[in-house]
């Protein structure tokens, strides 16, 4: 009550028309107070950092792997009682039993021009992952936010509940959101060169095809990993996935060390 009203000013460049109801549009907004951007609002922070990077000729692109569970409407159990394999990852029978949901979401992404290219039954019973093409950082952030809204809406239509909660079911692998980050020489379709990529050479980084700048980026991630956890793990439930006890499938797919390698999923 001590502060003036905060307004969300719609971003007309980011409008998404609902594929399942063309009369309605989903529009992200930028938080404003007394005519000024609210400095702490996440979308404003990202916009500001995008500009700072652009001033240095850097354009960040991101891709994410969104994971979620399909549960019963009350959220108490996974929606498919037959999805009970000990190691259910890529279970084709479970995929077929929920194909109507996964296909509808995928078709909507294709209609929106996102370049949806892969869906799978993930590591846990009742868990799914859906992927779409890389894009500029703000566009991907907006798409990710909309994707969660879309997945929940389609799930409800089919009588289920979709949840992106990091650790919704004790004993099962949690939901992750792997992020793929690269820096390019120009935004959008104008980009030609990946600044993090280099011809393979000798040395720990060069033999992986990483540029020196890519190596510094990895170093920055490692240096600030503990602080970044405040963003990547914003809730108590998020921390329940880190160093969680062994799951039914035998893996948590959650980070447990601050390190890097050419192929290290943990």
Residue range 116-169, pLDDT digits in tens: 999 999 999 999 999 999 999 999 999 999 999 999 999 999 999 999 999 999
Which residues, in sequence order, are bridge partners of residue 135? 62
> In 3D, which of 165, 174, 164 has the Cα closest to residue 251?
174
pLDDT digits 0-9 by tens, 55-104: 999 999 999 999 999 999 999 999 999 999 999 999 999 999 999 999 99
Q: Phi/psi at 155 (nearest 5 deg)?
A: -60, -45
> String of b and e for 185-219 (b: at least 16 CB within 10 Å)?
eebeeebeeebbebeeeeeebbebebbeebbebee
- The token duo for 28 is 């992200």
pLDDT digits 0-9 by tens, 48-61: 999 999 999 999 99
- Contact by Cβ (8 Å): 126, 69: yes
Q: What is the mean pLDDT of the chain?
A: 93
Predicted structure pTM score: 0.93
Angle at 133 between CA 193 and CA 191, to 5 degrees: 20
Question: 3-state class of 243 per DSSP?
Answer: coil
Q: Does the pLDDT of residue 265 top 70, yes or no?
A: no
Q: Helices marked H in 224-257 — which ranges?
A: 225-232, 236-239
Q: Does the pLDDT of residue 14 top 70, yes or no?
A: yes
Give Cβ neighbours of residue 13 (< 8 Å, ≥ 6 apart). Answer: none
Q: How far is CA 32 from the centre of its chain?
A: 26
Rounded Cα distance, 259 and 222, in Å: 7
Residue 103, Cβ neighbours under 10 Å: how many?
Answer: 13
For helices 212-223 and 225-232, the axis angle rounded to 10 degrees is: 70
Rounded Cα distance, 212 and 195, in Å: 9
Q: Domains for the chain: give ranges and CATH numbers.
A: 7-55 (no CATH), 59-241 (3.30.590.10)
Q: Does the pLDDT of residue 217 top 90, yes or no?
A: yes
pLDDT of residue 266: 60
Higher pLDDT, 241 or 125: 125
Question: 3-state class of 194 per DSSP?
Answer: strand
- The token duo for 233 is 């793990």
- Residue linked to tokens 């920055």: 220
Q: Helices marked H in the chain — which ranges?
A: 42-55, 92-97, 99-111, 137-157, 212-223, 225-232, 236-239
Distance between first and last Cα of the chain? 45
Rounded Cα distance, 185 and 217, in Å: 16
């Amino acid at each position: 009550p001590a502060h003036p009203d905060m307004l969300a000013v719609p971003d007309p460049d980011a409008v998404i028309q609902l594929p399942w109801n063309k009369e309605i549009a989903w529009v992200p907004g930028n938080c404003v107070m007394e005519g000024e951007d609210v400095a702490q609002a996440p979308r404003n922070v990202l916009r500001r950092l995008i500009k700072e990077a652009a001033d240095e000729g850097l354009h960040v692109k991101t891709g994410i792997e969104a994971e979620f569970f399909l549960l019963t409407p009350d959220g108490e159990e996974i929606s498919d009682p037959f999805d009970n394999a000990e190691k259910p990852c890529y279970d084709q029978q479970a995929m077929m039993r929920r194909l109507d949901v996964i296909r509808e979401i995928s078709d909507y992404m294709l209609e929106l021009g996102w370049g949806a290219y892969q869906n799978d039954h993930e590591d846990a019973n009742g868990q799914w992952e859906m992927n779409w093409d890389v894009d500029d950082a703000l566009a991907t952030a907006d798409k990710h936010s909309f994707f969660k809204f879309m997945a929940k809406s389609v799930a409800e239509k089919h009588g289920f509940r979709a949840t992106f909660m990091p650790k919704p079911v004790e004993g099962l692998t949690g939901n992750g959101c792997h992020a793929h980050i690269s820096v390019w020489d120009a935004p959008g379709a104008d980009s030609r060169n990946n600044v993090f990529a280099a011809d393979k050479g000798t040395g720990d980084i060069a033999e992986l095809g990483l540029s020196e700048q890519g190596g510094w980026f990895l170093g920055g991630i490692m240096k600030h990993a503990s602080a970044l956890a405040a963003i990547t793990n914003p809730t108590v439930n998020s921390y329940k996935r880190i160093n969680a006890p062994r799951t039914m499938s035998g893996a948590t797919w959650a980070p447990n060390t601050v390190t890097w390698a050419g192929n290290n999923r943990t």
